[in-house]
């Protein structure tokens, strides 16, 4: 589920980045496309200071499961 266009499906690329305020931002795109979309719920607080990988992995699992995945809070 994205803020800009709603649900997208297919071959996706997911990027999770650390923001200056310490939160994790998650963006998705159709693989090899130019446009990036904000995954709904992004940015989100990190579960702990080193939790960027944990957020990314949790998001990937949710996307793979389908059903309009959002960033966990």
Q: Where are the alpha helices (DSSP H) in 1-73?
A: 52-65
The pLDDT, as a whole number, for residue 67 is 83
Picking from 45, 54, 9, the residue whose alpha carbon sits closest to that of residue 28 is: 9
pLDDT, tens digit, 9 for 90 and up, residues 42-69: 999 998 888 999 999 999 999 999 888 8
pTM over 0.85, yes/no: yes
The pLDDT, as a whole number, for residue 72 is 79
- The CA distance from 65 to 73, in Å, is 17
The pLDDT, as a whole number, for residue 66 is 85
Picking from 65, 61, 16, 69, the residue whose alpha carbon sits closest to that of residue 43 is: 16
> Are the CB atoms for 57 and 66 separated by under 8 Å?
no
pLDDT, tens digit, 9 for 90 and up, residues 11-49: 999 999 999 999 999 999 999 999 999 999 999 999 888
- The CA distance from 44 to 18, in Å, is 10
């Amino acid at each position: 589920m994205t803020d800009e266009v709603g649900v997208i499906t297919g071959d996706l690329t997911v990027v999770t980045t650390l923001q200056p305020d310490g939160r994790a931002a998650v963006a998705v795109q159709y693989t090899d496309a130019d446009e990036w979309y904000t995954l709904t719920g992004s940015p989100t607080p990190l579960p702990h200071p080193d939790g960027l990988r944990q957020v990314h992995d949790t998001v990937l699992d949710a996307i793979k499961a389908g059903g309009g995945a959002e960033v966990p809070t």
